[in-house]
Amino acid sequence: MSGLERFSLNQWTVRQWSLPELVAGCAAAGVRAVGLWREPVREYGVEAAARLVRGAGLTVSSLCRGGFLTAADAPGRERALAGNRAAVEEAAALGAAALVLVAGGLPAGSRDLPGARERLADALAELGPYAAGYGVRLAIEPLHPMFASDRCVVSTLGQALDLAERFPAGQVGVVVDTYHLWWDDAVGRELVRAGEGGRIAAFQLADWITPLPEGVLLGRGQLGEGCVDLRWFRERVEAAGYAGAAEAEIFSPSLWAREGAEVLAETLDRYRTHVL
Amino acid sequence: MSGLERFSLNQWTVRQWSLPELVAGCAAAGVRAVGLWREPVREYGVEAAARLVRGAGLTVSSLCRGGFLTAADAPGRERALAGNRAAVEEAAALGAAALVLVAGGLPAGSRDLPGARERLADALAELGPYAAGYGVRLAIEPLHPMFASDRCVVSTLGQALDLAERFPAGQVGVVVDTYHLWWDDAVGRELVRAGEGGRIAAFQLADWITPLPEGVLLGRGQLGEGCVDLRWFRERVEAAGYAGAAEAEIFSPSLWAREGAEVLAETLDRYRTHVL
């Protein structure tokens, strides 16, 4: 047992790698799954990417990402829905276990959080059946509350579940990402709830370190570098019945500045030490 | 009616002002209350500061701040308790309506959030009666979750109330700060709960703007500049029975670079437009 049966490498952790480099690097390291991003996949060609990944014996634990479904104007809403339908089709082509959805932030000038959240729910009512038709499961990802205004109006696991539970579990699940959820004193009981409803569609790993950089997007920590009890999360999602991948998704310019293979080897080492 | 009956100016909003400048500036502008910080008060002299403020007819809506009570080692814990007892005495001398407590973050190398929270509760059990003996009310301030590791392990109003409710309401209340709480979908019902228990000890105002600066401490928005529905919060704390001050506490280098009187005039104008 290598201990890596459930490990997945999210493409953005090694952004310096092209898609072929990612696939070759993962195969060489004994990694069995990857999390992919739409932009590099489309650049390479969706069908070609699917063949490449499948040919190397890799599965796709998630496709990042759809969402951004909070526009208040009709043209903005239509554009977002069309983009998400395309994302569903790409996820289907890749055989991705989940299409990650990031809610979107407040429209410019708006102070109406409840309204933005309702528009997201309306969009899910349209996209859920569409995705199910392609065999794709949508996964709402709550992001850390520091992103609530400009990126994601869904900030906690409880809130993501409130939203997901309006729809069949096969259509809409949630993403459990340690970086976004670690601070929440309610996350333990919400993980139980997520498990009971069969709602955990993806599990992502990154550590929390400070100081946060300007813009706060690219300051994630390598596994074990920060203060998140990653093992606690892994045990809780497993206890909740989740049997999918544990995907390392670390946005960090200091990782991107290094050799991809070295970053992957370090990440696997940290995964064994701090997650397993 | 000037509309300013409940307005209070937190000293850190106009950090460029000395304490005498703050007192004179507030008196000139018709402001009736100030929120003070321990460091400048001690530098001026606590008794002298109390005379200065009282002599100008101002009340003290809050003293910032005590807390940082999460140390795991005995000497660190004793130092923190001693510092907080001193803060209680200073708050009593100033006649402050509340002594704001910021929990503190995780000790270096720790991943144990529940443990840190329990140490805070233990400290409150010691400090609550001590403060009550001086007629001072402790006010737990939940800070935005982006501060959970390095500054404050209490991140939501619900969590602050869970903690406060272990003690008599006269000993321990909570701070409602729009900047820290605006994103939380549970904040409406937690404000009702806070009101029912008579727990709201202070109400602070700042707006949320992005991008956040490096370190995220000094990126607060002037009232009305961001996406927080400040009026909604003011109405909710009033509906919850809170009759104390609404204190503008905006940490912003761009405000500190301007004339204090100009900043105060702008803040009062924004308060009338976006809060009242």
> Domains in chain B, please, with CATH?
7-274 (3.20.20.150)
Residues 6+ apart with CB under 8 A from A273: A224
CB pair distance less than 8 Å for A210 and B149: yes
Q: Which H helix or E strand runs over B192?
A: helix B187-196
Place of tokens 């407590």: B101
Asked if B111 lies within 8 A of A208 by C-beta distance, the reply is no
Can you read off the two tokens belonging to residue A72? 């208040």
CB B204 within 8 A of CB B249: yes
Residue A131, Cβ neighbours under 10 Å: how many?
27
Per-residue model confidence (pLDDT) at position B121? 98
CB contact under 8 A, A214 and B210: no
Average pLDDT (A85-102) is 97
The torsion defined by the Cα of A36, A39, A43 and A45, in degrees rounded to 10, comes to: 50
Coil/strand/helix, residue A9: strand
Q: Is the pLDDT of residue A1 over 70?
A: no
Across the interface, whether the CB atoms of A110 and B146 are under 8 A apart is answered no
Number of CB pairs, chain A paired with chain B, less than 8 A apart: 92
DSSP per residue, A102-159? E-B-PPTT---HHHHHHHHHHHHHHHHHHHHHTT--EEE-PPPGGGTTTTBS--SHHH
Across chain B, which distance is largest between two alpha carbons, in Å?
54
Residue A172 to chain B, least CA–CA distance (Å): 20
pLDDT tens per residue across span A169-200: 999 999 999 999 999 999 999 999 999 999 99
**What is the tens place of the pLDDT at every residue in A16-60?**
999 999 999 999 999 999 999 999 999 999 999 999 999 999 999
Distance from CA of A150 to the nearest CA of B (A): 7
- Name the residue of chain A whose CA is nearest to B107's CA: A227
Q: For position A3, what pLDDT does the model report?
A: 80
Residues of B in contact with A218 (CB under 8 A): none
pLDDT of chain B, 276 residues: tens digit per residue? 468 999 999 999 999 999 999 999 999 999 999 999 999 999 999 999 999 999 999 999 999 999 999 999 999 999 999 999 999 999 999 999 899 999 999 999 999 999 999 999 999 999 999 999 999 999 999 999 999 999 999 999 999 999 999 999 999 999 999 999 999 999 999 999 999 999 999 999 999 999 999 999 999 999 999 999 999 999 999 999 999 999 999 999 999 999 999 999 999 999 999 999
Contact criterion met (CB below 8 Å) for A211 and A218: no
Query: Which residues are CB-neighbours of B48 under 8 A, at least 6 positions away?
Result: none
Measured between alpha carbons, how far apart are the two ends of chain A, in Å? Answer: 12
A210 touches B: beta carbon within 8 Å: yes
**Residue range A248-274: mean pLDDT, rounded:** 97
Query: What six digits make up the tokens of B162?
Result: 């869970």
A144–B146 C-beta distance less than 8 A: yes
Kindly state the tokens that stand for B114: 């529940």
- Nearest-angstrom CA–CA distance, B253 and B219: 8
Contact B178, B207 (CB under 8 A): yes
Put simply, whether B213 touches A (Cβ < 8 Å) is yes
CA angle B3, A114, A133 (to 5 degrees): 170
ipTM rounded to 2 decimals: 0.96
| From A110, A184, A211, residue closest to B215, measured CB to CB | A211
Q: Percentage of chain A surpassing pLDDT 70?
A: 99
Nearest CB to A210 within list B117, B150, B212 = B150
Nearest to B148 by CA among A153, A220, A210, A148: A210
Average pLDDT over residues A51-80: 97
- Provide the pLDDT for residue B1: 45
Work out the average pLDDT over A222-242: 98
For B238, the 3-state DSSP assignment is helix
DSSP for B113-148, written as a single string = HHHHHHHHHHHHHHHHHHHHHTT--EEE-PPPGGGT
C-alpha pair distances (Å), B56 with each of B30, B50, B243:
11, 10, 22
> Per the structure block, which two tokens stand in for A253?
């310019």
Q: Which residues, 6+ apart, have CB-to-CB distance to A90 below 8 Å?
A: A38, A41, A42, A46, A63
Pairing mode of beta strands B246-248, B7-10: parallel
| B232 CB neighbour count, 10 Å cutoff | 17
Cβ neighbour number for residue A166 with a 10 Å cutoff? 12
- Per-residue pLDDT of A95-148, as tens digits, reads 998 999 999 999 999 999 999 999 999 999 999 999 999 999 999 999 999 999
DSSP string, A187-241: HHHHHHHHHHTT-EEEEEE-EE-SSPPTTSTT-EEPTTSSS--HHHHHHHHHHTT
Q: Mark out the alpha helices in A12-109 (DSSP H runs).
A: 19-29, 38-44, 46-55, 74-94
Please list the alpha-helical segments (H only) found in B33-175. Answer: 38-44, 46-55, 74-94, 113-133, 157-164
CB A260 within 8 A of CB A16: yes
Asked if B11 contacts B260 with a C-beta cutoff of 8 angstroms, the reply is: no
Q: How far is CA B239 from CA A39, A112, B188, B276, in A?
A: 49, 20, 11, 14
**Which residues fall within 8 angstroms of residue B92, CB to CB, at 6 or more apart?**
B134, B135, B136
